[in-house]
Structure 1
Amino acid sequence: MTVAEQAGQLIMTGTPLTDADAVTSVMKRNHVGSVFLHGRSGRTAASLKKEINRLPSMTAGDATIRPLVSIDQEGGQVQSLRGGTWGYLDDAQEQGTWTSTRLAAVTGQWAKSLAKAGITMDLAPVADTVPSGTEKRNPPIGVFGRQYGSDSAAVADAVATVTATLHDAGVMATVKHFPGLGRVTKNTDTSSGVVDTTTTTDDAYLRPFQAGIDAGAGAVMISSATYEKIDPDNRAVFSSTVITELLRGEMGFQGVVMTDDVGAAKAVADVSPGRRAVRFVEAGGDLVLTVESSQVRTMMTALSSRARQDPDFAAQVEASATRVLELKDEAGLLSCE
């Protein structure tokens, strides 16, 4: 791969769920390797798959590399495909009260439907634990019932079950939002200066993330909040302390590390789009998610330009692209002639 092609593999661009292949020209122009289907729809798996099949693949040597296709399918208010043949999935707070047998059975049903539609990655499960009684003061997770519970051990069990079941259905799980958004009082999507003053590097609330990793998570999504007791000087998404030292080092995760949305999120609005991508990869991350496809060119150019100027950064880009390709191989998206 050229440097630009490697950089393109490090970007996941948003595209409307109702028009999945609308981003085709952006992908071709910028070698983009992954897409995120955003919005809500009750369209059939068959109609969605037709559009997903039209998304461009890449050729490298004798290999054909198809794009990762991701979606937010958690349940409750965060269920992108709903109604019609999809039905309605209870939110995670309710799912957390089920037995592991029931949770696995229900997850398996809708995971197979995602795979049938051509979706190879779910931006779930949520591994954030929200302390009991604080749900209404936790806008990103608790307000929407996105947590499996208020006990980290129970949340860990649910996360492990969902992660393993998704994997068995051929859908890569994404454990989020590391190292946790369950104790913040603002939402990184809509607010700047989101700070967690509690979480530490040996916090019990990290157990659900470890459980997801141990269960075979394909990716871990990094929060855009700042964690005062881990790295007070950097937002997690730009922190090598969080990504390289804690997640990869202490917790042993060697898969794909991705951002939460850094396209429209207020938490990173003070950093230019190109710098968002570069700073994340510098910190040890791999896959940059932007719901704004208009930012893709800037991000890809910033990554490839920096790689051409800095051999150490070029090595990071190559290592990250390799991890993304390994995930694609696991998802059945690589084929060789």
Structure 2
Amino acid sequence: MDSTREALRRLVVGTLMPGFVGTTVAPWVTREYAAGLAAVCLYGANVAGPEQLSSLCAELRSVAPDLLVSVDEEGGDVTRLHYPTGSNQPGNAVLGRLDDTALTRESAAAIGRELTAYGINLDLAPVVDVNSAPDNPVIGVRSFGEDAALVSRHGVAAVEGLQAQGVAACAKHFPGHGDTVTDSHLALPRVDAPAEVLEVRELEPFRAAVAAGVACVMTSHVVVTAIDPERPSTFSPTMLGDVLRGRLGFDGVIVSDALDMAGASAETGIPEAAVRALQAGCDLLCTGSETTEDDYLAIVDAVVAAVESGRLDRTRLADAAARVERLRRTFAPGAVVAAAASKEVLWSEDTVAQAFSVSDAARAWQAVDAPPVIVQVASEPNLAVGRVAWGPEAAGLTTDADDVRAGAKVAVAGRSLEPGHPAWVVADRLRAEGHSVIVVECGWPRGEGDVVTYGGSVVAARALGRLLGVRAR
């Protein structure tokens, strides 16, 4: 490779943040770091436990000392550090319901301390989407709430908590994924709200995060018709240049949401999506959780070819790489510890339970003189959450439906309890067997549920157990 093309390739890989397969460092990551790779992203499939994660991060730092290492550690339902066991933080919806910004700041700071202990220096959080669509299939309890002012103040607290620990925060998913009923992992959502609503609802939390000095903003693969009716935000120069850079004054790193999502690349493929994202103004490209070496090289080749053909301006590419390099230097990692499982934040179960919604029927159930049990019903997660441990089962609080003894009162727990969810069938069966039964929604309320916990974290589950009088076995 001649020096000119080598320099171009170095710029290209300086804008990429691939995932990789496995629980040890993929050999190609080491090679590409030497060639200028900017970042990698760790996912749940890369994590088997705290000791293994420490080893993985130590290995990464030994071969790539100033690499940006990122995760989606939102706390609550979306966790990567605690993927096998469930999050040790309550999650955004619970924090928003409590509405104490000091608690939100401390939750984020605790996450930041844990990340820095592992040598992870970019957290793809907080979510600052306003969850204005109750049946939103992908945001829900990842949001602080449905009010823009509340989301703004808690988003700022989360940014401050993370960045005070030396971890770059990333407000997402610009300009807002909360008013959608389509999951962008699976299809291309649209937001059809008028411009005046977008201004005071979707944009306000991002405006606040920018004013608070957030290091990064992540795009959404969502078409916002009042601003750009043709292109998803990730590929919209209007959205990223005119709105985010211009009107909001953001000067940090624009990170694409994962380009392997259907909303980004179902029609074009990931390499073409990478070119389009850079053209639009993205600086750091999240390529997806299972990026192979062949996938990665195809992306590199496509972006190099786009510059050589004149489709992608080299100055735009150089600007993106320079922004990422500044981010790497600003949030340079410290030392990696041998084991970084943090137990420093002991959430009061009574405090967390204050966020719950508890119906009169649930209060009456509490008064029934019978031994309480919890039955958890399997609930399909969205792709952002993944197969993380969740709910009362993760906290050791459950009994199998077939093992419920005569005379017991039963709380049937599930999440996303829409009509047709199997939890309703289980509840009806147990009532028919003579049990006093309530139903617990461990997610965002869909209009039903005698108790709503606003999240499935282990922290929320333990608070639920205390509320219902069920102890871990």
TM over 0.5: yes
1:138 aligns to what?
136
Deviates more, 1:106-115 or 1:240-249: 106-115
Unaligned runs of 5+ in 2: 1-5, 335-473
**Distance (whole Å) between structure 2 residues aligned to residue 188 and residue 205 of structure 1:** 17
1:314 aligns to what?
314
**Distance (whole Å) between structure 2 residues aligned to residue 76 and residue 52 of structure 1:** 22
**Distance (whole Å) between structure 1 residues aligned to residue 30 and residue 279 of structure 2:** 23
1:223 aligns to what?
220
Deviates more, 1:200-209 or 1:177-186: 200-209
Contact preservation (8 Å) 1:199, 1:205: no
Give secondary structure in 2 for the equivalent of 1:285.
coil
Task: State which structure, 1 or 2, has the greater radius of gyration over its C-alpha atoms.
Answer: 2
2:151 aligns to what?
155
Deviates more, 1:1-10 or 1:116-125: 1-10
Identity of aligned residues (%): 28
Unaligned runs of 5+ in 1: 59-63
Contact preservation (8 Å) 2:166, 2:331: yes
**CA gap 1:217/1:97 in 2 versus in 1, 3 angstroms:** same
Q: Structure 1, residues 79-119: CA drift from partner, whole Å, max 9, x if none? A: 11227998522121001133111222222122101110011
1:177 aligns to what?
173
**Distance (whole Å) between structure 2 residues aligned to residue 104 and residue 267 of structure 1:** 32
Contact preservation (8 Å) 2:159, 2:169: yes
Q: What's the offset of the Cα at 1:219?
A: 0.8
2:441 aligns to what?
none
**CA gap 1:20/1:37 in 2 versus in 1, 3 angstroms:** farther
Give secondary structure in 1 for the equivalent of 2:109.
helix
Give secondary structure in 1 for the equivalent of 2:301.
helix
Listed as ranges, the matches of 1:76-155 within 5 Å are 76-82=76-82, 88-98=88-98, 99-131=100-132, 134-135=133-134, 137-142=135-140, 145-155=141-151
Contact preservation (8 Å) 2:105, 2:157: yes
Contact preservation (8 Å) 1:306, 1:314: no
The one-letter amino acid paired with 1:196 is: V
Contact preservation (8 Å) 1:28, 1:56: no
**Distance (whole Å) between structure 2 residues aligned to residue 298 and residue 52 of structure 1:** 26
- TM-score w.r.t. length of structure 1: 0.87
**Distance (whole Å) between structure 2 residues aligned to residue 240 and residue 89 of structure 1:** 36
Among candidates 15, 18, 21, match of residue 20 of structure 2: 15
Greater share of strand residues, 1 or 2? 1
Give secondary structure in 1 for the equivalent of 2:142.
coil
**CA gap 1:166/1:187 in 2 versus in 1, 3 angstroms:** same
Contact preservation (8 Å) 2:14, 2:324: yes
**Distance (whole Å) between structure 1 residues aligned to residue 129 and residue 227 of structure 2:** 17
The one-letter amino acid paired with 2:108 is: T
**CA gap 1:217/1:20 in 2 versus in 1, 3 angstroms:** farther
Give secondary structure in 2 for the equivalent of 1:170.
coil
Among candidates 153, 157, 165, match of residue 161 of structure 2: 165
2:414 aligns to what?
none
**Distance (whole Å) between structure 1 residues aligned to residue 281 and residue 87 of structure 2:** 39
How many residues align? The count is 320
The one-letter amino acid paired with 1:250 is: R
The one-letter amino acid paired with 1:25 is: W
Listed as ranges, the matches of 1:238-317 within 5 Å are 238-291=235-288, 292-294=290-292, 295-310=295-310, 313-317=313-317
**Distance (whole Å) between structure 1 residues aligned to residue 308 and residue 88 of structure 2:** 48
Does 1:197 pair with 2:195? no
2:68 aligns to what?
68
Deviates more, 1:193-202 or 1:1-10: 193-202
Give secondary structure in 1 for the equivalent of 2:255.
strand
**CA gap 1:83/1:56 in 2 versus in 1, 3 angstroms:** closer
Give secondary structure in 2 for the equivalent of 1:125.
coil
Contact preservation (8 Å) 1:190, 1:265: yes
1:43 aligns to what?
49
Contact preservation (8 Å) 2:75, 2:87: no
Deviates more, 1:168-177 or 1:7-16: 7-16
Q: What's the offset of the Cα at 1:202?
A: 2.6
**CA gap 1:257/1:328 in 2 versus in 1, 3 angstroms:** same
- TM-score w.r.t. length of structure 2: 0.63
**Distance (whole Å) between structure 2 residues aligned to residue 57 and residue 34 of structure 1:** 14
Q: What's the offset of the Cα at 1:245?
A: 0.7
**Distance (whole Å) between structure 1 residues aligned to residue 85 and residue 285 of structure 2:** 32
Q: What's the offset of the Cα at 1:56?
A: 7.2
The one-letter amino acid paired with 2:222 is: A
**Distance (whole Å) between structure 2 residues aligned to residue 189 and residue 182 of structure 1:** 14
Does 1:5 pair with 2:14? no
Query: CA RMSD for the aligned pairs?
Result: 2.5
Contact preservation (8 Å) 1:199, 1:230: no
**Distance (whole Å) between structure 2 residues aligned to residue 162 and residue 176 of structure 1:** 12
